Structure 1
Amino acid sequence: MTGTLLRQDDPVRHPEDQTAPVRTKRAWTLWLLTLLVPGGAQIVAGNKRLGRAALTVTMTCWALILVALVLLLVQRSWLISLVAHPTFQLIGGIVLAALALGWLAIFLNTLSIIHPGLLAPGMKVIVTVAVLLGVVATTGSLGYGSYVLFKGRAALSGIFASGPPIDAVDGRYNILVMGGDAGSDRVGLRPDSSAVWSIDAASGRAAVISIPRNLQNVPFPTDSPMHKVYPDGYSCGDECIFNSIYPIVEEKHKNLYPGVSDPGAQATMEAASQVTGLKVKSYVVVDMGGFRELIDAMGGVNITAGGWVPYNTKKPWPGTNLKTHWFSPGKKHFTGNQALWYARSRDFTTDYHRIRRQQCLQQAMINQFTPQNLLTNFTQIMDTGKQIIHTNLPQGQLGDFVNLADKSRKNPFLRLTLGAPDFGIPGKKFSTYPDYDQIHDRVKTLVATATDEGAKKAKADKESKAAASPKSSSKSSKSSKSSDGENESKLKNGEAAVPTKQPNGEPITEKYLVQLELNGQNSTIESIVQNNDACSAG
C-alpha cells in the first residue's frame, strides 16, 4: 500500500500509473532539463550519481563561460592570446570532443528515462525526434567547435613558425610583407609587392613603407651572409633589383642560410632592414596566385577608389579585340578576382600607382580581419591561408598580433613609397639611384608620427600652421589652353588637373574610355587615370 502511494505521489520517477497528459508533460520537462542543464533529468528522475557528475561538469562550463565573458570585457587581449595559443587549441579541441560525447550519452540516457513506450503513439514519435534534434544541436555544435580548433591548430602550424616570441625593437614590430607569384616557371617567389609594416606595440598605429620592386643598389647589413657576396650593395645593373633578391638567393645562395626554412625571404628581410633603417625581424610571404581565394574567404574587401582603374579580362568588347575594362571611382566591394585586378593594374600608369593601391588594399584586408569575420569564415580562411601564406612569426605570438591588428583598425595607416611621388617624379628615377640617407630620415620621421604621442603632435602642428596661415583670398586667373606638349609635361610633374568630364561636358564613363583606347588616344586616358592611386580602405 505504501509503495503504491509512493509511486502515485512521484510521477516523475514512476510514470507508469500516470495519465497520458502527465507522461507527456514529464517527457518534455526531462528533455528541456537535458538541453539546458545537462544532468538535471538524471537528478530528478534517473541515476542521481550520473546526474551529479554531469551537473558538476555543466556548472563548471557555465563558470568558465562567465569568466571568459568577464575577460572579454576587461582583458580582451589576454583572452585572444590564450585562444590563439596552440596548446590551448589542442586541449580545447579534446575537451569539446569529450563534452560532445558526454552530452550525447546524457541525451540517450534521458530518452531511456522518458520511457517512450509509455507515451501516446503520436507523441512517442515527436519526443524521439525532439531528442534527436537536441543531440544534433548540442553534440553537433560541440563537435564542430572541436573540429574548428583542431583544424585551426593544424592550419596555423603550417603558416606560422615555432620558437620563442619576437621582441619589439624600440617599441615597434617591423614586419616585411611580400606578395608575388611562385609559378612553375620561376625559381622561388618573385615579390612584386614588398612593404615594411612598422607597428607601434602600444597603440597599434602603423606606418607602411612600400619598397618598389625595381629599387637598385640595395645594401645588405654587415651581419647578413649576402653582404659577403655583395659588400658594395646589390648592384649589377637593371637585373639587380629588389624583387630579384628572393629568387637569386633561392637559386644560388641557399647554402649561406643553413637551417633557415625560407632563405629567399630571410635575405630579402635583411635587405629591407638596411633599405629602411629599421630592424626588420619578421616576414610574411603571400603567394598572389591564391590571393583571390583568401579575399573571397574573408567575404570580399571594401575600397573607396579615387580614380578610374583599368583591368583586362578574357572577354573582348563586342566587335573589337579590346579586352580593357574599368573600375569607376567610388565605394567598391571587391571579390577576390576584382581585388587582384585592382592591386595589379598598371596600364596607362606606373608601378608607383599600383603600389599605393596595394597599400589601400592591405589596410582593407586588415579591416576585414575582425573577430566576427574570422569566426564566421574561419574554416575557409584557414584552408586558403595555409596554401598561400607563410611567415617566421611564431604561432605562440599569434594572439599578440591579432590584438595589434585590432588596434590598427582604429587609425589609418601612414604610408610612404620609396619612389615617386614621395621621392620626386618618376622621371627622376629615384628608385634607380636611391639616396638611402634621405630614405632613413623620412622613415624615421614617419614612424615617430605613428604613435599616439606622435599623432597628437602632428595634429597640433597642423592646427597651428592652419591658424597662422592667412585666409586665402580669391584670385582671378586667366584661362588659357595649353598645348598638348605643355599638358603632357604638366601631367608628368603631377601639375595638371585630372579631367572629370568629356569634351561635350558629360561625365566620363567606361564606354568613353574604351572608345578612347580604340581611337589610340592613350595620352588622354593617361591624363584621366593619373589619380587612380588615390584610394582608401572602406
Structure 2
Amino acid sequence: MENRNSRGTDRAAVLTDPVRNPEGASARTRSKRALFLLLLTVFVPGGAQVVAGNRKLGRVALTVTLCCWFALLAAGVLALINRDLLIDLLARPTVQLVLAVVLGVLAVGWLALFINTIALIRPRLLAPGMQVIVSTATVLLVLATSGVLGYGTYVLNTGRQTIENVFASGPAFDPIDGRYNFLVMGGDAGANRIGLRPDSMSIFSVEASSGKTAVISLPRNFQNAQFSADSPLKQVFPNGFNCGNECILNALYPTVEEKYANLYPGAKNPGAEAMMDAAEGITGIKIQAYVLIDMAGFADFIDAMGGVTVTSGGWVPYNGKYWEGTRVRTHWFEPGKHTFTGKQALWFARSRDFTTDYHRIRRQQCLQQAMINQFNPQTVLTRFSQIMDAGKEILQTDIPQDQLGSFVNLAGKSRQNAFKRLTLGAPDFGTAADRFSTYPDFDQIRSRVKTLLAEASASAPTKAAKPSKSSSPSSSGGSSESPSGGSAASPSSSSASASSSGAGNVPKEDIPTTQPDGSPITEDYLVQLELAGQTGLISTIASNNDECSAE
C-alpha cells in the first residue's frame, strides 16, 4: 500500500514538474524554461533531453559531449607539451579527412538536438513575443554551433584536397647537417616565351632546430652553372652550362624540358630537377626539394592574403597606361610604406627599368620576407578558402605531404628570425660592372655560402641589427639581417664605398632627393625627365630602389 502511494506521489510530481510538463506553468515559467533548454543544448548538448525529453537520447549525446571535451583537453595539453607534434598531425591529409568526417557528424547531430529541443519547448505554449525571441535565438545558436562545425568540415576538406593536389606523396625527408634546403623558383610561361623560364631563383636553407633561414639568390643571367656530381647533366655539360649568353641559368629549365627530359626518367618535372642539380653544383649545398611558383598566379595569392606590406627605400618604376598626350608608360611607386595588391606586388618584384636585375632580386628578397611575416595563423584562418584556391593554381612542388607539418612549424620559427641573405652577383660580389655572374668564382661562392650558413645557425648571435637604408660593408660573410627583413645585403670589399644600391654603383650621397628648385621629387617630375630623354638622371634617382624592408 505504501509502495503504491509512493508511485502515485512520484507520478503526480512528474505531472506537475514545469520542466517536463509546462502546460500548467505560468507564461513566465514557460519562457524561462524555453531559454533554459536552449542554453543546455548549447553548453551541454544532450542536457535538455535528459531533463525534459528522451533520457536515452540525452545520455548518448552527453557521452559524445564528454568525449569531445576530453579530446579538446588532450589537444590543449599536447599543444603545451609538444606543439610541433600537434601541428604535424593536423597537417596530415588522413587526419584532416577523419576530423572533417567527425566535425560533419557532430554538426548534423547538434542540429538534430536543436530540432528536438524546439519540440520539447513547444513554441505554441509561449507568448507571441517569446516565440519570436526563441525562434531568432535558435537560428543564431544553430549558426554558431552546427554552422561553425560545418564550416570546419569544409575548411579541413579544402585543405586536404589542396595538400593532395599540390604536395607529393612519399615519406618525409630528414634535414642535412641540421638544415632543410630547397629551391624556390618564380616561373614565367608568358605568351612571348618558349617554355617556362624561372626568372626568380632562391635557395632557402632553414635550420631545423631554430628556423633560422639563409636565402641565396641566383641571378637569372648567371652563367657557367656547374652540376652536382651525381647529376645526369654532368655528362652532357662536363664543363658546366657554358655556351655563352644562350646558357644563362634561367634558360636551363626549358632546355632540359625540350631536349634532356629523358635524363630524369619518372620525374614529374625534369626542368625543376635540373635546376636543383645546378643550384647544388653552384653552391655546394645539397638541395632536397623544389617549389615552383607560377608568377601569373602570384598576384592571386597576394590578393588572397589581403595584400602585402613593405617599405620601399627608393622610387620603383612600372609600366601602366600611357600618360595623356605622351608615349610614356612609366609610373612610379614612391619611397615609403605600401600595402600592395597582388598586381602591384608583382610589378614591384619584377621591375628592372632604369636599374638592373640585382635591384629586383633584392626587392624580391624583401617580398619573400614580408610574405613569410604576414602569412600567419590569423591570415590563414580569416582567408583560408581564398588562399587554398590560389595555392592550388600557382604552386608545384615535390615536397612530400608528410613533410608539411614540420615545415609549418619551421615557418612559425622563421618568422621570429630575420633572413640571412646572399646574392651571387652584385652587390655581394662586386658591382654589376664586375660581371661576377658571367664569370663566377665557384670556390669563392662556396666559401661565402659556408660562412652564411654558419651565421644563420642557432649558435650564431641572435640579436638582429636595425634595418637600415644602406648596407654595411662586409668582406667576411657578405650577408645581412634585420628584424623586419630588409634586404640590406652587404657589398663585397670591391664595392664597399657604394650605397646599398651597389648594383648601380652610385654612392648614397650622390642620389638626388630633390628637384633643381629644391622641391621634393615627384612622379610628375620623373615623367618629365623621361620625356626630356634624361634617362641617366632617372637611373641615378632610382639607383637605391633595391632598399626595402618587410613589415
Q: Same fold by TM (over 0.5)?
A: yes
Q: Distance in 1 between matches of 2:11 and 2:452?
A: 87
Give matches, 1:338-487, under 5 Å: 338-455=344-461
TM normalised by structure 1 equals 0.91
Alignment pair present for 1:499 and 2:506: no
Q: Distance in 1 between matches of 2:39 and 2:279?
A: 61
Moved segments of 4+, more than 6 Å: none
Residue type of the partner of 2:525? Y
State whether residues 187 and 295 of structure 2, in contact with CA within 8 Å, keep that contact through their aligned partners in structure 1. yes
Note the residue ranges of structure 2 that are not aligned, 5 or more in a row: 1-7, 466-473, 476-501
Residue type of the partner of 2:373? N
Q: Distance in 1 between matches of 2:416 and 2:117?
A: 50
Change (3 A) 1:254 1:373: same
Alignment pair present for 1:238 and 2:251: no
State whether residues 176 and 195 of structure 1, in contact with CA within 8 Å, keep that contact through their aligned partners in structure 2. yes
Q: Could you tell me how far 1:38 is from its partner in structure 2?
A: 0.6
SS in 1 for 2:292: strand
Alignment pair present for 1:178 and 2:185: yes
Match of 1:152 among 159, 173, 183: 159
State whether residues 197 and 206 of structure 1, in contact with CA within 8 Å, keep that contact through their aligned partners in structure 2. yes
SS in 1 for 2:367: helix
Q: Distance in 2 between matches of 1:155 and 1:443?
A: 34
Per the alignment, residue 479 of structure 1 pairs with: none
Q: Could you tell me how far 1:456 is from its partner in structure 2?
A: 5.3
Alignment pair present for 1:329 and 2:342: no
Q: Distance in 2 between matches of 1:249 and 1:2?
A: 91
Alignment pair present for 1:312 and 2:325: no
Q: Could you tell me how far 1:122 is from its partner in structure 2?
A: 3.9
Q: Distance in 1 between matches of 2:43 and 2:463?
A: 55
Deviations 1:432-463 (A, max 9, x none): 1111111001111011100121235999x99x
Residue type of the partner of 2:188? D
Q: Distance in 2 between matches of 1:324 and 1:458?
A: 37
TM normalised by structure 2 equals 0.89
Alignment pair present for 1:98 and 2:111: no
Alignment pair present for 1:89 and 2:89: no
Alignment pair present for 1:510 and 2:523: yes
Q: Distance in 2 between matches of 1:495 and 1:426?
A: 16
Per the alignment, residue 280 of structure 1 pairs with: 287
Per the alignment, residue 212 of structure 1 pairs with: 219
Alignment pair present for 1:54 and 2:54: no
Q: Could you tell me how far 1:135 is from its partner in structure 2?
A: 2.1
Residue type of the partner of 1:370? N
Q: Distance in 1 between matches of 2:181 and 2:157?
A: 30
Give matches, 1:56-205, under 5 Å: 56-184=63-191, 186-205=193-212
Please, what is the CA RMSD of the aligned residues? 2.1
Deviations 1:451-482 (A, max 9, x none): 121235999x99xxxxxxxxxxxxxxxxxxxx
State whether residues 176 and 284 of structure 1, in contact with CA within 8 Å, keep that contact through their aligned partners in structure 2. yes
Change (3 A) 1:444 1:322: same
State whether residues 30 and 41 of structure 1, in contact with CA within 8 Å, keep that contact through their aligned partners in structure 2. yes
Question: What percent identity do the matched residue pairs reach?
Answer: 60
Per the alignment, residue 476 of structure 1 pairs with: none
Q: Distance in 2 between matches of 1:419 and 1:81?
A: 38
Residue type of the partner of 1:501? T
Q: Could you tell me how far 1:106 is from its partner in structure 2?
A: 0.8
Q: Distance in 1 between matches of 2:363 and 2:503?
A: 23
SS in 2 for 1:169: coil
Deviations 1:85-109 (A, max 9, x none): 1111010000000101110111111
Change (3 A) 1:66 1:386: same
Q: Distance in 2 between matches of 1:431 and 1:242?
A: 10
Change (3 A) 1:11 1:449: same
Match of 2:229 among 208, 222, 226: 222
State whether residues 427 and 503 of structure 2, in contact with CA within 8 Å, keep that contact through their aligned partners in structure 1. no
Q: Distance in 2 between matches of 1:187 and 1:247?
A: 8
SS in 1 for 2:220: coil
Residue type of the partner of 1:212? P
Asked which structure has the greater RCO (Cα within 8 Å, sep 6+), the reply is 1
State whether residues 161 and 392 of structure 1, in contact with CA within 8 Å, keep that contact through their aligned partners in structure 2. yes
Per the alignment, residue 527 of structure 1 pairs with: 540
Q: Distance in 2 between matches of 1:532 and 1:426?
A: 15
Q: Distance in 1 between matches of 2:462 and 2:386?
A: 40
State whether residues 174 and 281 of structure 1, in contact with CA within 8 Å, keep that contact through their aligned partners in structure 2. yes
Aligned residues: 510
Q: Distance in 1 between matches of 2:236 and 2:267?
A: 18
Change (3 A) 1:526 1:44: same
Q: Could you tell me how far 1:156 is from its partner in structure 2?
A: 1.4
Q: Distance in 2 between matches of 1:457 and 1:8?
A: 74
SS in 2 for 1:311: strand
State whether residues 506 and 543 of structure 2, in contact with CA within 8 Å, keep that contact through their aligned partners in structure 1. no
State whether residues 356 and 504 of structure 2, in contact with CA within 8 Å, keep that contact through their aligned partners in structure 1. no
Q: Could you tell me how far 1:491 is from its partner in structure 2?
A: 5.9
Deviations 1:265-320 (A, max 9, x none): 1110111011111011111000000101100111111111111111111x222332
Deviations 1:30-84 (A, max 9, x none): 1111112110101101111111111111122122223333333443222221211
SS in 2 for 1:164: coil
Q: Distance in 2 between matches of 1:214 and 1:490?
A: 14
